[in-house]
Structure formats: C-alpha cells, structure tokens
Structure 1
Amino acid sequence: MAFQSFEVTSNPANGAPRVAALREKMAALGLDGFLVPRADEHQGEYVPPRAQRLGWLTGFTGSAGAALILKDKAYIFVDGRYELQVRAQTDPAVFSYESLVSNPPHVFLADHGKGLRIGFDPWLHTIAETKALAAALEKRGGSLVPVAENLVDLIWDDQPDAPKGPVSIQPARFAGREARDKIAEMQQAVAASGADATVLTDPSSVAWVFNIRGKDVSNTPLPLSFAIIPAKGEPELFIDEAKLDIEPRAYLTQLARLLPPQDLEKSLAARAKSGEAILLDSSLAAEKLRLIVETAGGKVIDGRDPARLPRAVKNKAELDGSRAAHERDGVAMVNFLSWLDTQPPGTIDEITAAQKLEEARAKAGNDFQMPLEDISFDTISGAGPNGAIIHYRVNTETNRTLNDGELFLLDSGAQYRDGTTDITRTVPVGAIKPETVRAFTLVLKGMIAISTARFPAGTRGQDLDVLARIALWKHGFDYAHGTGHGVGSYLAVHEGPQRLAKTGTQELLPGMILSNEPGYYKPGHFGIRIENLIIVTEPKVPAGGDIAMMGFETLTYCPIDRRLIDVTLLTQEERDWLNDYHAKVYARLSGHLDEATRKWLEWATAPL
C-alpha cells in the first residue's frame, strides 16, 4: 500500500464562494472578520482532515499558515517556504498575501484593525497568540471575540469525522524508559512549578509519556488525545476508546483513568472549581483551556509543557534505534539513487521517482525485519523549477519530467518503529551549468560547517545558524527557512523545542536530534538542499584545549553527489570531512547491497 497520494486536493476556484458563505456567518454574529489558522485543538503541525479548515476554505494546503477574512478583503499569511505554493493554490482575485514571519496576524491587525470585531475559535489559537491578537486589536479600539462554534464548520457540509486510528504500545526496547517513570517525572515537574496539575495538549507529549503511538494523522504516529497529569494521584487520559484494542486498553488502564475527549472540559473545570492551579504552556495550549480554568474560578500557571524537553533529549535506546533506522534508510536511498542514475533524462517523472523511493524503503524495511510504518512526510520530489518551491508537493497536475541539464531535489523520510528519518539529496540530470555547481558547493560548505561545529554548553540553535549561511552570504545568496529542526523518536519529524534557526532559542543538549539542511533556491530554475540528521554529542575537551565542547554525530548515511561539487571552493578540512563521511557511508552500507549497487556506491563515495 502506498502511503502518499498524488491527487489534486484543492481548487482555487472554491475560494470565492466559500469566503462569501463565511462572510454571511460573520455578518449574522456582527463580526468584521474571522481568523482561520491551520490548526486543530492540539495546536500541532499535524492535523487530521477534519481540522484542515484553512485548506478547505482557501485551497492552500501548506503545513503552516492562517487566513484573515474581513468584510471586503481576505488575507493569507505564510512563511518563506510557501511563498510560491500559496500563489499557485489560491485565487489572487480573492486573497492578498502576507508574511507569517514579518507581518503575522497580530502585527497586521495592530496596523489595520481599527475598531474591528474579529471572531476566532479559542480551540484553534494558543494562549500566547490570543493575548497578542487581543492586545493588537484593543490598542486600535477593536476586540477579539470568541465564537461558540467554528464558522468554517458551519458551512463545511461534508466535513470529515474525527479520526479513530488504532493505538499501539511503543515497546520499552525502543522507548528506553517505562511510562510509569515518565509519569513520575512529569508529576515532579508539576509540583516544582507550584501547580496542582498540568494538561498535556501536544499528542507527541502524550504519546511519549505513555509510550503509545497512533494513526490519527498521516505520516506521524500520533494518537490525538489530551492528558491531565496531577502533581499527586492518578493521571487522566482523554481518548476515544474506539481507538483502543484489548491490549492497549489494558495497558493504559494501569497508568491512567481513561475518559472520552468530551469530558476534558468538565474535568478541568471541576479541578479549577476546587481551587487547583493548572500549569498550561501558553505557546502550545489552546486559549479555550485558559478560559475553562479561569471561568471556573481557577488559576493558570504559565510554564513549559513538562514533557517537551525530556522528549527532545533522546536516551540510549532511542539513539541506538535512530542509528539502526538510518542505516536501513541509507540502504533504501542508495538502492534508489543507483537506479535513478541508470534512467535516461526525460524518462522519469516526479511521481514515479517518489513511488520508487517508497518501494525501496518498504523493501529495506522488510529485508531488515523492521517494516516501514509510514513515510515521515509527503516526499518533496522537485525537478528543475519545481525544486525551487521549498515545500513542493507533487500532484498529477504539477508532475514534471526529470529533464536533461536540470537538478532534481528529493526531500523524504521514513517512519520505522525504532526511529524517524529525514534526508534531502539534490542530484544532477545530465550536464549542469558551472554557476549551479558553484551554488551547490556553497550550500555544501554550510552543511559541512554545521557538521564539524564545536560549541560550549549553553549554545543555542540561533548561535550556530549563521555557520550554515556564511558561505552563501559571501556570494549574495540565502535561504528562507531554518537550517534545522528537531526530530522525534518514531514521532514527529518536526519536533521542538530544539532548532537550528535565527529563532532557535533553546539551548542544545546532548542527545537531541536535529536536521542540518541549508539550501539555495532560484525561482523558476532550480532548488538545492542537502540534509543529514545529526545528534548533539556529549561535551569533551578537544586535544590541547581547556573547555569541554559539544559537537554533532551524523546519523544519515547516503552519498552527496560529487558531480555537483566545485572542489576548488572547498578547504582542505571540508574535503577531508566529505571524504571521511563517504568512507563511512561505504563501510556502513556496502555489505547490504547487491554487486551492481555496491559498485555504484563505490563510485559515488570515491575520494575527491
């Protein structure tokens, strides 16, 4: 069974009539505008079909964004990854486009919200986001108005049902810790915060704490659920029992009281009425939860989701699992790339390539007796100009042939029980122009700079981000995305709080997994990205030094295309790193390949 569909899922022509219908609902409530974020009740990046309101209303299907519908204008806010995609998927006669980074809705409303009553669904906005929106409007004499029912839901006649994906237990040999120990750690953190209980709103946190996984959203094994963890006493897990077979139900009843999701509001209000202080992460928890607690007379304590940082710092079992997953995934990638190299230019298209890679992953999973559970996101398979669309998703309308003289960008990943992978390789199709080779080499220099970085305790992702960009900057180039994101352990391929980015304020800690993926994109021509996953290593004093330094261990095993490298632009240290990396790739993977593929890998990893 293929995990990725290539059907066209949106139509720009739907925007006008759906926005018109939404405006009728706004008018009935006396609203001047309504906010439609790409979010569900958990505020996650990974939302089920039922919660994809932004895509249904506008046609834009990216993983981040928001729409602001006013009486006579409509705006869509996206980040740099989606600047091209949003224009292709939506009707420019209906929507104007704004930056989600430099001019997000609260900043926009501070300038344009004079006297406006803006409606919003408090389940779909975080506490912090709501506070910023309300403050921006109040300064201009406007107001933010919570609605009892989401206005999009009122006009979405064939809205899908809530998902009921089966829950499974994540074995201790992969989780590395028992759920009871994690619950005890959460309870200690709640008590230390001065709260009586916390609500885990992020399904990744619920999955990690209880050692469970689910199938409620595509690509990410999340069981959509909430949990209340008290400082003392039995946790409550709010989950649809239709998701629980006999074994997971028996397992979970030993850890928590099981309740239906609709009981969360009642349970939380009862705690608030009894005087309990509730810890909520204002950057993750829905504004609705704050309203429930404070309306019932309780107190909200603002603090970090107590599972977020422990989940990000992987233990030995999780790291060993990730290493095994990346070896297996490297075999799949090499089998695919060696096959691709034998296909004449103009004979393969983007969909065929993505399907072939998924087949290679499925085969590798079977060969290693660790089945491919899913892909970790829809494969970005971009030929020529499509590669310049940073988060491009190929479909039957955009599907393009891999043509002579062009680059092919392939960003993909896998979900195995022992680990989550994410890798990008850019390869040439035929002969490539020297200026393109130069750009690729500058991206490679940035990727190597992160790979070889050494840094003291206290270093944050934003302190290292510049290392990946400096070679590009010197030539007048840059890229409109972060350099790296955190990665989960058979969980979300995008995991916080760790990031390599200008916004990466989290201190990097040993055991964190991140991506290392600088790029360069020339709209209408090509895209370049090179991505490996890396682990933050334990600090140790370098030879001759006096301060312990952390660094990175590279997890990913796959050759970087030497045909796209201008060796004269590399330093000796950079050449040495690449040659050493390629030697490790060959040593790790060659024993798992047939003779023809092994010979291809020997050629692909030959020293510069």
Structure 2
Amino acid sequence: MFQSFSATANPAQGPARLASLRRVLALEGLAGFLVPRADAHQGEYVAARDERLQWLTGFTGSAGFAIVLPDVAGVFIDGRYRVQVKGQVDLAHFTPVPWPETQPGPWVRAHLATGVLGYDPWLHTADEIAKLEASLEGSAVTLQDCSNFIDRIWPDQPGPPLGLAFPQPVELAGEASTAKRARLAETLREAGQRAAVLTLPDSLCWLLNIRGADVPRNPVLHGFAILHDDARVTLFADPAKFDATTRAHLGPQITLRPPSAFVPALRTLQGPVRVDRSTAPLAVKLELDEAGVESQWGDDPCRLPKARKNPTEIAATRTAHLRDGAAMVEFLCWLDATPKGSLTEIDVVRALEGFRRATNALHDISFDTICGSGPNGAIMHYRVTDGSNRPIGDNELLLVDSGAQYVDGTTDITRTIAIGDPGPEAREAYTAVLQGMIAISRLRFPRGLAGRDLDGFARYNLWLKGMDFDHGTGHGVGAFLSVHEGPQRLSRLSEVPFEPGMILSNEPGYYREGAFGIRLENLIVVQDAPPLPGGDDRAQFSFETLTFVPLDRRLILPDLLSPGERTWLNAYHAETAAKLAPRLSAAAQRWLTQATAPL
C-alpha cells in the first residue's frame, strides 16, 4: 500500500546530532544556524534528502523551522503541531516555540547577545531573510549566508529524487502548454521583462502540462526553469527523469538541461529578470546580482493562472470527487458494520486505502491519512505508526482526514465519526464545527474579498462557546497537483482575493488535548453567484461544494441548528444520496439512505 506505519524519526538521536552541529558551527565561527523545513523549491512536502529539520530534531510536521544557538535550540511550530512536537523531540535539548506568536527575530535577541547567525540562501526566500534582518537591527547579531551544515554532518543523507516525469493530457489540463506559455510570455513583455525564474514544482508542472514523482503524495517534478519573453522555456532537471514520450510531449520550445547548469544560465541572462521574493530561494537573486544581471521582484507568473482552474479542470475534479465520495461511503458503511473494539487506527487506514484502490483509478493518496481515535484526534496532523497505533475504543470520536490523487483531480476530505456514544460535550462541539462549515458553504460575498475576510464565519459559533481552532479554515488545492496549493487560502493571514475557479478546503475544527478532536472538511470552488431578485447590481461570488459524503447525523444536535442551516444540511444530504447511490454496492446504498435521511 502507499502508506507505511514505520516511525520516520527518533527523538533519541537528536541530542548527538545537535552537538555535532554545534561543533561545526563553532569551528566556522558562527553562533547559530537556521534549519528550515522547506527545500530549495519551498515545498511543504519534501524529498527524503531534504528532511533536514526532521533529521536533526525528530519533528515530522509539514511546517516549522529550528534556530540552533550555543545554549538553546528552538523548534518553531504553529498551532497545528503544539501537541505533536512534544512527543517527537527531546525536550531536554530542543525547546518548542509557539510561532507565529513568537517571531524568530525577538527570540534570537532574547537568547543571543552577539554573534553571527548562518543560513543557507538556497533554503530561504528573500522575504524571510529581509524580515529577520529587520528584526535584528540595532542588535549585535548579524546574518550570513553560508553552506548547509546539516548536509555536512548527515553521513547517510539520501540522494536527490529521480521520479519519472509524465505528460498530463490536454483533455484533463484544459489548455495546451504552448497556449499557457504564450499567455504568460505576453505578461512578461508587457512588464518590460525578458524572463522569469520559476522555482515552484507545481508551477513547472502546470506550465508544461507534466507531472512527476519527486516527493511523496504530490505528483510534482523537482527542477528550476526560466520562462523567456518569447515563450521558450529552459528546464533544469535531471534528464534521467524524462523518457522519450515525455521529451516528445515537451516539444521544441522546451530545452532540457541538468540542474548543474541552472546557476551558470542565470548569470548569462539579459535582464530585467522577474524573481518572486516570496517563493524563490534568495540564492537566485544573489547569483543574478553578482553577475550584474538586472532583476525585478514580481509574482511567479504561474501561480494565479494555476489557481484559477479552467472549466475542463473543474469538470474533471467533480468526477474525481464523486469517485472518491463513493469510496468513502463504502468505507463508512464497512466501519459501521465492523464490531466495536475490533479495529485499530492502522486497520482503518488500510481499509480506507483499499476502498480507494478498488476504484482502479487511484494514482496515490494525496497525503498520509490522519486517523486519530479519542485523544489522538486532538493531534491535528497525527500520523499513526506501529508504535502509536491505538485500538479504537467504544464511546469516543474517530477523526479521519484523507485524500486521493487521481489523474482527473485531487481530493481531501475529513469526517469525524461517532464510535458508540461520545457524550453531550462532543456533540455540542461537533455541531458548532458543522455550523462553521455550513456558514462557509452558504456564503455570498463581494468580489475582492480574501481569506482573511471570510475566515471568521467558520469560527462564529465556536467563539460564542469560548472555543476556537489553531489552523486556517482552508487551503488551496491543485488539479492533480499539490494538495496544499497557494496563493489562495481561507485564512485570517491571507490577503489574496478569491477568483472564480479557485479550489479551497473548508475545514473548521475543534481539539481538546487528551480527549478528542473534531474536524469536518469539504472542498469547494469559487464561482460567480447568480443575481438575486431585488439585490444590487454588483458582482458577488459563492462556493460550489465538490465533496459529497454524509456528515455523521448521530453527532448533530438539531435543536442548535438554525432553519437555514438545517435546510442546507438536508439539501446537501439529498444531493449526496442522488449523486452517489448509482455508484455503490447494495449494502452501501442501504447505509447511505439512512445516513442522509432528513433531520
């Protein structure tokens, strides 16, 4: 199966590795070093070679970083990982730091009086380093770009990934690569720029209509590219990743060169060259500056067009979600029919992947399934291992967050399930989370609003109860690409205006450490909202729901729902039954009829 259950890090190894890093830093005259989770492509999911933060600390989360100083090593983690980190690092040697509440600059100033803090410019963006430099102004601490000292002390570091690239047919992409490149090249010419540097794997894959296998779960290719103002592209990636079919697909305007040729090519460009200061490694700008090539900050030209899914991509994604929804219903039917007390978390993960495999269309899962029973559900990104595997007890909640990669779409769905009777507190919290998901689903909003403007709607009913959750309400999702895609987000931190075609998750939650976790997630897509009788003549957007899987009626307190919320839920369940029933076994059809009965 795709998912394994072996532990990927050992906290006991951290102290010796930390001591080794400090010895190297002392020899180099450095007082500290930044260890990011990100790789040179700023990916959330990284190849084994780039798991530097995990190798050093034991922390396996998908976001975070460490700052190693002579007397303290801080592991900066956001609200998703506050519980997880405590079980994964040696707390006698590594100090969890709540981030972004605590920013790295003030933290460094509090723990280091003077000295030089080193960083690898290939692993940090210009924005990151500029912000840190500004926060250290007036102190006796300075920053210095340097080689990567983790790579120096990691004796068995894996080699670079060599996943095979493959074409994404235009029948699913909805637009030929030649048309995409011509469209973006025109934007460069309009801006007076000769080229743009592309460093994000999903940007490369979207632009060239290819997919890859260089990181787990997300079908992306590791490489760099230069898009020229005449629509030519120079792609810097290992030639071993491209067979004859994919080379022919790329066509004559794509020049394939090895990664080692990237820096020399940067140095010979004619400017101005566009560089994205929020996603490109700072090293790109440093190389251009050193060679005297004029560069200009600007957004990666692929990011917004990629986020605005075209009608073909949306239609294909709808199909993928119906296929996945049917697999989920078969799974939920099986789960309800299995005797209580007979399953573990690993049993559930294996079974769910089996139902997706039975579609005969599964390319991969879109991330390691999060299956947390009872207190493990409160670990937001819990990954079950052979060591942590827990029997699913009676009278508790089971949180299952999972997804699939199909060639026609990427899915991501969370359902929280009653195993027996979890009690009134769990039902009340579940109902408040459900109300938040319904609120986002029902929204109409003016053009120009961003995630920060909508995020609070998902939290309103939780706030009324003195509750909240420490993650964004939603992230962007790709079309058979990254399950976490930017720049769109449904988050109080996002300032990117929503546009039609953007796919997002809608996933409010609530977590009580040591007791239970609740999260409900559907994927939604931004669409033009039809005009309303008597309304003003101004453009509005709404969300189309893509995910169709029943919500657990056993956990809903109907008296807490407003008439509008109840109407939405009953209509959603009726549509779910109508769309999925023809795709199901007889047993799952019977289960679905009960699970979608009106409240």
How far apart are residue 100 of structure 1 and its match?
2.5
Q: Partner residue of 1:115?
A: 114
CA distance in structure 2 between the aligned counterparts of 1:132 and 1:545, rounded to whole angstroms: 44
**TM value normalised by structure 1:** 0.97
Which range moves more in the overlay, 450-459 or 544-553?
544-553
CA distance in structure 2 between the aligned counterparts of 1:412 and 1:579, rounded to whole angstroms: 24
The two structures, once aligned, show a CA RMSD in angstroms of 1.1
CA distance in structure 2 between the aligned counterparts of 1:599 and 1:523, rounded to whole angstroms: 36
CA distance in structure 1 between the aligned counterparts of 2:595 and 2:252, rounded to whole angstroms: 52
Q: Which amino acid aligns with 1:52?
A: E
Q: Partner residue of 1:209?
A: 207
**Counterpart secondary structure, 2:528:** coil
CA distance in structure 2 between the aligned counterparts of 1:562 and 1:575, rounded to whole angstroms: 12
**Counterpart secondary structure, 2:226:** strand
Q: Which amino acid aligns with 1:306?
A: P
User: Given the alignment of the two structures, is residue 342 of structure 1 paired with residue 333 of structure 2, yes or no?
Assistant: no
Name which of 510, 526, 529 aligns with 2:500.
510
Distance of aligned partners of 1:549 and 1:138 in 2 relative to their CA distance in 1, 3 Å threshold: closer
Q: Which amino acid aligns with 2:209?
A: N
CA distance in structure 1 between the aligned counterparts of 2:457 and 2:191, rounded to whole angstroms: 36
CA distance in structure 1 between the aligned counterparts of 2:190 and 2:462, rounded to whole angstroms: 45
Q: Which amino acid aligns with 2:339?
A: P
How far apart are residue 592 of structure 1 and its match?
1.2
**Counterpart secondary structure, 2:202:** helix
How far apart are residue 138 of structure 1 and its match?
3.8
How far apart are residue 107 of structure 1 and its match?
4.0
1:200-259 deviation line (CA, Å, top 9, x unaligned): 100100000000000000000001011101113622011100000111112224231111
CA distance in structure 1 between the aligned counterparts of 2:471 and 2:271, rounded to whole angstroms: 41
How far apart are residue 189 of structure 1 and its match?
2.1
Q: Which amino acid aligns with 1:222?
A: V
Which range moves more in the overlay, 441-450 or 66-75?
66-75
Name which of 592, 595, 599 aligns with 1:604.
595
> Which structure 1 residue ranges, 5 or more long, are not aligned?
none
CA distance in structure 2 between the aligned counterparts of 1:481 and 1:471, rounded to whole angstroms: 16
Name which of 211, 225, 228 aligns with 2:226.
228
Name which of 422, 429, 445 aligns with 1:439.
429
**Counterpart secondary structure, 1:580:** helix
1:255-277 deviation line (CA, Å, top 9, x unaligned): 31111011100000111xxx512
CA distance in structure 2 between the aligned counterparts of 1:563 and 1:438, rounded to whole angstroms: 12
CA distance in structure 1 between the aligned counterparts of 2:109 and 2:138, rounded to whole angstroms: 7
CA distance in structure 1 between the aligned counterparts of 2:562 and 2:251, rounded to whole angstroms: 59
**Counterpart secondary structure, 1:550:** strand
**Counterpart secondary structure, 1:551:** strand
Q: Partner residue of 1:141?
A: 140
User: Given the alignment of the two structures, is residue 582 of structure 1 paired with residue 573 of structure 2, yes or no?
Assistant: yes
Task: Tell me, yes or no, if the aligned pair for 1:199 and 1:278 is still in contact at 8 Å.
Answer: yes
CA distance in structure 2 between the aligned counterparts of 1:94 and 1:380, rounded to whole angstroms: 28
Task: Tell me, yes or no, if the aligned pair for 2:320 and 2:408 is still in contact at 8 Å.
Answer: yes
Q: Which amino acid aligns with 2:307?
A: A
Q: Which amino acid aligns with 1:554?
A: T
**TM value normalised by structure 2:** 0.98
CA distance in structure 1 between the aligned counterparts of 2:585 and 2:115, rounded to whole angstroms: 66
Once superposed, which parts of structure 1, at least 4 consecutive aligned residues long, lie more than 3 Å away? 110-114
Q: Which amino acid aligns with 1:36?
A: V
Task: Tell me, yes or no, if the aligned pair for 1:453 and 1:552 is still in contact at 8 Å.
Answer: yes
Task: Tell me, yes or no, if the aligned pair for 2:231 and 2:253 is still in contact at 8 Å.
Answer: no
How far apart are residue 24 of structure 1 and its match?
1.1
1:319-363 deviation line (CA, Å, top 9, x unaligned): 001000000000000000000001222111111101100010010
CA distance in structure 2 between the aligned counterparts of 1:85 and 1:190, rounded to whole angstroms: 44
Q: Which amino acid aligns with 1:95?
A: F
Q: Partner residue of 1:568?
A: 559
Name which of 544, 556, 563 aligns with 1:553.
544
Q: Which amino acid aligns with 1:311?
A: K
Task: Tell me, yes or no, if the aligned pair for 1:109 and 1:136 is still in contact at 8 Å.
Answer: no
Name which of 529, 534, 547 aligns with 1:544.
534
Matched residues, percent identical? Answer: 50
Name which of 512, 529, 533 aligns with 1:522.
512
Q: Partner residue of 1:50?
A: 49
CA distance in structure 1 between the aligned counterparts of 2:436 and 2:192, rounded to whole angstroms: 44
CA distance in structure 1 between the aligned counterparts of 2:284 and 2:545, rounded to whole angstroms: 40
Q: Which amino acid aligns with 1:433?
A: G
Q: Partner residue of 1:106?
A: 105
CA distance in structure 2 between the aligned counterparts of 1:193 and 1:389, rounded to whole angstroms: 46
CA distance in structure 2 between the aligned counterparts of 1:239 and 1:355, rounded to whole angstroms: 35
User: Given the alignment of the two structures, is residue 276 of structure 1 paired with residue 276 of structure 2, yes or no?
Assistant: no
**Counterpart secondary structure, 1:3:** coil
CA distance in structure 2 between the aligned counterparts of 1:108 and 1:208, rounded to whole angstroms: 39
Q: Partner residue of 2:173?
A: 175
CA distance in structure 2 between the aligned counterparts of 1:565 and 1:444, rounded to whole angstroms: 8
1:180-329 matches, cutoff 5 A: 180-232=178-230, 234-271=232-269, 275-329=270-324
CA distance in structure 2 between the aligned counterparts of 1:313 and 1:499, rounded to whole angstroms: 13
Task: Tell me, yes or no, if the aligned pair for 2:164 and 2:213 is still in contact at 8 Å.
Answer: yes
Task: Tell me, yes or no, if the aligned pair for 2:182 and 2:231 is still in contact at 8 Å.
Answer: no
Task: Tell me, yes or no, if the aligned pair for 1:109 and 1:133 is still in contact at 8 Å.
Answer: no
How far apart are residue 486 of structure 1 and its match?
0.5
CA distance in structure 2 between the aligned counterparts of 1:135 and 1:297, rounded to whole angstroms: 25
How far apart are residue 139 of structure 1 and its match?
2.6
Q: Which amino acid aligns with 1:555?
A: L
Task: Tell me, yes or no, if the aligned pair for 1:380 and 1:410 is still in contact at 8 Å.
Answer: yes
Q: Partner residue of 1:464?
A: 454
CA distance in structure 2 between the aligned counterparts of 1:186 and 1:112, rounded to whole angstroms: 46
How far apart are residue 131 of structure 1 and its match?
1.1
Q: Which amino acid aligns with 1:336?
A: F
**Counterpart secondary structure, 1:331:** helix
Task: Tell me, yes or no, if the aligned pair for 1:115 and 1:137 is still in contact at 8 Å.
Answer: no
Q: Which amino acid aligns with 2:303?
A: R
Which range moves more in the overlay, 126-135 or 415-424?
126-135
Task: Tell me, yes or no, if the aligned pair for 2:444 and 2:529 is still in contact at 8 Å.
Answer: no
CA distance in structure 1 between the aligned counterparts of 2:198 and 2:13, rounded to whole angstroms: 36
Task: Tell me, yes or no, if the aligned pair for 2:348 and 2:371 is still in contact at 8 Å.
Answer: yes
How far apart are residue 113 of structure 1 and its match?
4.3
CA distance in structure 2 between the aligned counterparts of 1:226 and 1:516, rounded to whole angstroms: 32
Task: Tell me, yes or no, if the aligned pair for 1:281 and 1:302 is still in contact at 8 Å.
Answer: yes
1:280-312 deviation line (CA, Å, top 9, x unaligned): 111100011011000111222111111000000
Q: Partner residue of 2:444?
A: 454
Q: Which amino acid aligns with 1:55?
A: Q
CA distance in structure 2 between the aligned counterparts of 1:217 and 1:421, rounded to whole angstroms: 17
Q: Which amino acid aligns with 1:25?
A: V
CA distance in structure 1 between the aligned counterparts of 2:474 and 2:450, rounded to whole angstroms: 12
Q: Partner residue of 1:124?
A: 123
User: Given the alignment of the two structures, is residue 485 of structure 1 paired with residue 483 of structure 2, yes or no?
Assistant: no
**Counterpart secondary structure, 1:397:** coil
CA distance in structure 2 between the aligned counterparts of 1:267 and 1:523, rounded to whole angstroms: 51
CA distance in structure 2 between the aligned counterparts of 1:285 and 1:568, rounded to whole angstroms: 51
